[in-house]
Structure 1
Amino acid sequence: MKRNTTDKELISIRLFDVIDKLPHWNDEKIQEAFPKLKANTLSNHKARLYEQILVSLRLLQSDDPRIRIKDHISYAELLHKKGLYVQSLAQLAKAKQISSTLKMDILRLEIVEFEKKIEGRYVTRSHSQRADELTNESSQLRSRFYFEGAWSDLSLKLYDYYLKFGHSKSEEQQHKLSAMFKESLPRTKDTEYEDTIYKFQCYVWYYYISQDFVRCYAYAKKWCQVYEKNEVLLESEPEMYIRGLHNVLAALFYCDDVGRFIENHKKLKEFTSKHQHRFNENQVIQSFIYLETANLNSYIIEGRFTEGARYSDEFLQRMKAFEGRLDIHRIMVFHYKIASLKFGSADFSGAIKHLNIIINHPSIALKEDIQCFARILNLISHYELGNDDLIDFQIKSTYRFLLKLSDYQRVHSAIFNFLKNSVFMDRKKLEPDFRLLREELLEILEDKYERRSLLYLDLISWLESKISGRPVEQIIRDKKLVKMARKSLQGNK
């Protein structure tokens, strides 16, 4: 083997072996393994190795439809240079068939422009209507590409808005969101461009941020149906279908629709189980995020907090396999959901542990809603543990934080006043105070923007547990069972 291998290739093999054995990238260790090579020479070998790895990865992904399309385009270019125009068009026809089926309009437009180039410069003996077909197809694709690009831009803008500000907190914020949304809507009278996946994504984000979860669910369902009606598209873009199901589940979670949540959770589990053997690494990461989010939510929406708290410990172990590949937003959400499960199972110390991860993160701009309610839940957890000496400091710290974010709500004020006044009182004599706070909160929560707090923390059930002396898990569980029983009766009528 060595007789047929150049010195450069041998160094690349040795370099790969050295890097592969390192737990983390370390330039000094790599340089030590090649003492005779200068730093700039070694750098060139690293670049060469990187190119070789990319070529190998490319060969391993030869069944990817996007790569197959690009291969056909490359073959068409080679044949075109050889003057084999008919054969070149045949390769483009194969590429076009795949791109049309999978709705890959950018690649399809590239193919059509190449076909126009060949038909316009050379006599290929194509039929007489060929020129009209290509110009019409090109025009339609350009229009579709423009509108899909506009929807895609709006979807990204809405996603960025949510990461910064979370759900609408007031009529003023909602008005600004609606104005931004309406101004950015693509203008078209052609219904052919209406049912694009990017349009459904935009409306999912818009209604999700607006807390209109019924409409959010409706558009997320349409998103999923695009893939369910096209088996080839579903096979080529499974992560987009999984994202659609994730949004269906998120909307149902906030609608507190237990029955349909369980039904769609089962659909997500079955799909990932059936297709995960062919997922690429990116799809494995995405399916992990969305499936585990649904798993954690299932324990919360069904009121199975103790069981969910046990599951969360196993989940954290599995999450270590994705260390460095999950964005901080997802990680913060996971920690908040785990804290909620711990709190619901009366493991208040465990809840505080996960809440502190959120609270102490250096970037407070990440997920403002999560940051705010992590501090509220942290306050209540300390209260439950009887950490009276910490409560006063925590109240002042949380108050300053909320003022800094302009996120101080009437719900926050009611909780702060109660904790401040009751922290040093006899806990056995606080039932009347808990009842008064419950009535006050119920009145405040008539405002739909104040109800945002219920998306993160079921304060009413917590108060009812303090009033009745029953565990909060039991209170929430009983409510879920009653609600499901009522829906079942309504469905049977």
Structure 2
Amino acid sequence: MSNHNKLDHLFLLIQSLSKSEKINFKLYAGRIKRNKNAKFIKLFEIMSKIHCYNEKKILENTPISKIQLSNMKAHLYKQILISLRLQHTEENYDLQIREYLDFSKILYNKGLYIQSLKFLGKAKIIARCYESNTILLELVEFEKMIESQHITRSLYSRSGELSVESKELIERVQCHDALSSLSLELYGLYLKVGYVRNEKDKIFIETYFRTNLPKFDIEKLSFYEKLFLYQAQVWYHYIRQDFIMCYRSSCKWVELFQNHKKAKKIAPVSYLKGYHYLLDTLFYLNHYSKFTKVLEQFEKEVQNEKIILNGNTRILIFMYKYTNRINKHYMEGTFSEGVKKVIPPLLKDFNKIYNRLDSHYIMVLYYKIACLYFGSGDNKNTILYLLKIMENQEKNIRQDLQCFARLLHIIACYESGLDENMDKKIQSAYKFFIQMDDWYIVKKKIIHFFKNLGNVYPHQIKGQFKKLRERLLKYSDHPYEKRTFLYLDIISWLTSKIENKSVEMIIKEKFIKNHC
């Protein structure tokens, strides 16, 4: 895929437009007669038709010179955004508020203070309805400024009312800001390093959470304050690998939306994320019946379009639908079935939105696909997708996945017989673990196992697998070492080598024993 295609913002914006948005833009641009044959319209038409950004083709099919192209693209970009803003104002409450505030300021500048205050009043009604306290505070401050400079009302108490309202809003905004910042910081820490790796990590995250969690009365918190609180709790418990507490917080997160029906339309992205982390914790808790029930419920809501579809939600629905379908196959041990049923539609949909996915989502998806192929016995494709992760240059994104991709890569190379230069691969993985400060007992034992495997006689190999399994089982419930087993079912792989069965068969037998 062309890098230029990925970097051209105008092309990406046009590609993201729906059919109705394209029609609406043409109507908007065509409202002025002289625009009918305008160069920016010609540019829009050609860029709507091409499938990848091609500057040469654009210049050949438009009356635009190479010197003009940059300015013309900037103009078209701005006109599309204005068109989208006009089209979507009614369905976006924050755009409505901003529009009323703009009208209010225009009227104020003309000296029409009463009319200005009327639009401010309309904006405040919407802001209160949707608990938009930050915008509401801005509206109140503007109203205070009008009241302080001009005699607009007969009631003397109005200035006092505005002062009290302002103070209350400042307190709410501070609480909102503290909770949202805590949630964001914890999420950032998870994206960077994943789960806690040692006692130092544990103490740091617990201290950070306690220190930055503001005092609150749960009964007095607004919808968004509760949302940020539950999000912060989910990231906190998730990082600490406390999946029972994580399950409880993610349940509250989803229930919050189900108790505030209109919130699904206001903040659909947060609703989808809540669903995903609820499913994710059920997966790690291995609660299959509850997992399948929630997944079915999630897919039903998406299918019935109970969640607003836009660029953001489509990406999240794609990610959460496929990662959880893959997780279901992991739990069942039906890897081969997953490869046949999930991978083809996944890759088809992936190619449509690849340009809009960030590195985090792409790496998670590649790792999920790699593990699915590994479970099915397809080591060639496992290696292919692991290399995509290992070649990623963004070292501060998902260091955990980059580390475990290297570990699985060594195992897949061994399984596929591509064990030439194995010492070099092991050395490369070792250096990366050290660089990422992720060199702990389980990883050490696995790396040392492969490093010494070349010195073992063929008839002794099974015995070595048994010894490694016995050593690793001791750490399966270790507070920090167990994180390896969350990313990689190394015990099932070792059992498959000992019992001469496929990984798929081992996990499937385990699933049948526990759930049937």
Q: Structure 1-normalised TM-score?
A: 0.88
Cα pair distance change 1:365/1:3, threshold 3 Å: closer
Aligned AA (1:455) = L
Q: Is the deviation greater in 294-303 or in 383-392?
A: 383-392
The answer for the alignment partner of 1:406 in structure 2 is 437
Q: Decide which of 266, 271, 274 is 1:244's aligned counterpart.
A: 274
Q: Decide which of 276, 292, 296 is 2:322's aligned counterpart.
A: 292
The answer for the alignment partner of 1:489 in structure 2 is none
Q: Report SS of the residue matched to 1:445.
A: coil
The answer for the alignment partner of 2:494 in structure 1 is 463
Q: Decide which of 357, 365, 380 is 2:388's aligned counterpart.
A: 357
- CA distance in 1 between counterparts of 2:173 and 2:425 reads 52
The answer as to 2:202 corresponding to 1:174 is yes
Q: Deviation string for 1:35-81 (max 9, x for gaps)? A: 67582x55444333222212211122132222222233334444545
The count of residues paired between Structure 1 and Structure 2 equals: 484
Deviation at 1:458, TM superposition (A): 0.9
The answer for the alignment partner of 1:345 in structure 2 is 376
Q: Report SS of the residue matched to 1:317.
A: helix
Q: Is the deviation greater in 140-149 or in 269-278?
A: 269-278
- What 5-or-longer segments of structure 2 have no aligned partner? 1-28
The answer for the alignment partner of 2:355 in structure 1 is 324
The answer as to 2:287 corresponding to 1:260 is no
Q: Are the counterparts in 2 of residues 348 and 384 from structure 1 also a CA contact under 8 Å?
A: yes
Cα pair distance change 1:25/1:259, threshold 3 Å: same
Cα pair distance change 1:380/1:134, threshold 3 Å: same
The answer for the alignment partner of 1:270 in structure 2 is 300
Deviation at 1:151, TM superposition (A): 2.1
Cα pair distance change 1:416/1:134, threshold 3 Å: same
Q: Deviation string for 1:337-362 (max 9, x for gaps)? A: 11111111111222111111112223
The answer for the alignment partner of 2:334 in structure 1 is 304
Q: Report SS of the residue matched to 2:214.
A: coil
Q: Deviation string for 1:426-485 (max 9, x for gaps)? A: 656533332222111111334221101111111111122222223222222232333335
Deviation at 1:84, TM superposition (A): 5.5
Q: Is the deviation greater in 163-172 or in 66-75?
A: 66-75
Deviation at 1:393, TM superposition (A): 2.9
- CA distance in 1 between counterparts of 2:162 and 2:112 reads 20
The answer for the alignment partner of 1:490 in structure 2 is none
- CA distance in 2 between counterparts of 1:12 and 1:312 reads 40
- CA distance in 2 between counterparts of 1:157 and 1:296 reads 29
- CA distance in 2 between counterparts of 1:3 and 1:71 reads 21
The answer for the alignment partner of 2:23 in structure 1 is none
The answer for the alignment partner of 1:140 in structure 2 is 168
The answer for the alignment partner of 2:179 in structure 1 is 151
The answer for the alignment partner of 1:199 in structure 2 is 229
- CA distance in 2 between counterparts of 1:190 and 1:272 reads 30
The answer for the alignment partner of 1:208 in structure 2 is 238
The answer as to 2:511 corresponding to 1:484 is no
Deviation at 1:168, TM superposition (A): 0.8
Q: Report SS of the residue matched to 2:482.
A: helix
The answer as to 2:34 corresponding to 1:6 is yes
Q: Are the counterparts in 2 of residues 220 and 247 from structure 1 also a CA contact under 8 Å?
A: yes
Q: Are the counterparts in 2 of residues 305 and 345 from structure 1 also a CA contact under 8 Å?
A: yes
- CA distance in 2 between counterparts of 1:48 and 1:296 reads 44
Q: Are the counterparts in 2 of residues 101 and 233 from structure 1 also a CA contact under 8 Å?
A: no
Q: Decide which of 76, 84, 89 is 1:57's aligned counterpart.
A: 84
Aligned AA (1:160) = G
The answer for the alignment partner of 1:431 in structure 2 is 462
- CA distance in 2 between counterparts of 1:7 and 1:356 reads 50
Q: Deviation string for 1:387-445 (max 9, x for gaps)? A: 34343332222222222222122212222233333346565653333222211111133
Q: Deviation string for 1:291-317 (max 9, x for gaps)? A: 222222222123221111221233112
Report % sequence identity.
36
Aligned AA (1:482) = K
Cα pair distance change 1:11/1:93, threshold 3 Å: same
Aligned AA (1:367) = R
Q: Are the counterparts in 2 of residues 388 and 423 from structure 1 also a CA contact under 8 Å?
A: no
The answer as to 2:450 corresponding to 1:419 is yes
Aligned AA (1:138) = S
Q: Report SS of the residue matched to 2:438.
A: coil
- CA distance in 2 between counterparts of 1:277 and 1:256 reads 27
Q: Are the counterparts in 2 of residues 358 and 374 from structure 1 also a CA contact under 8 Å?
A: yes
- CA distance in 1 between counterparts of 2:58 and 2:416 reads 51
Q: Are the counterparts in 1 of residues 386 and 406 from structure 2 also a CA contact under 8 Å?
A: yes
Aligned AA (2:183) = S
Q: Report SS of the residue matched to 2:304.
A: helix
CA RMSD of aligned residues (A): 3.0
- CA distance in 2 between counterparts of 1:88 and 1:308 reads 60
Q: Report SS of the residue matched to 1:275.
A: coil
Q: Report SS of the residue matched to 1:240.
A: helix
- What 5-or-longer segments of structure 1 have no aligned partner? 486-493
Cα pair distance change 1:16/1:442, threshold 3 Å: same
Deviation at 1:97, TM superposition (A): 2.8
Q: Deviation string for 1:208-250 (max 9, x for gaps)? A: 1111111122222222222111111222221110011111112
The answer for the alignment partner of 1:94 in structure 2 is 122
- CA distance in 1 between counterparts of 2:64 and 2:445 reads 71
Q: Is the deviation greater in 8-17 or in 57-66?
A: 8-17
Q: Structure 2-normalised TM-score?
A: 0.85
- CA distance in 2 between counterparts of 1:428 and 1:313 reads 41
The answer as to 2:96 corresponding to 1:68 is yes
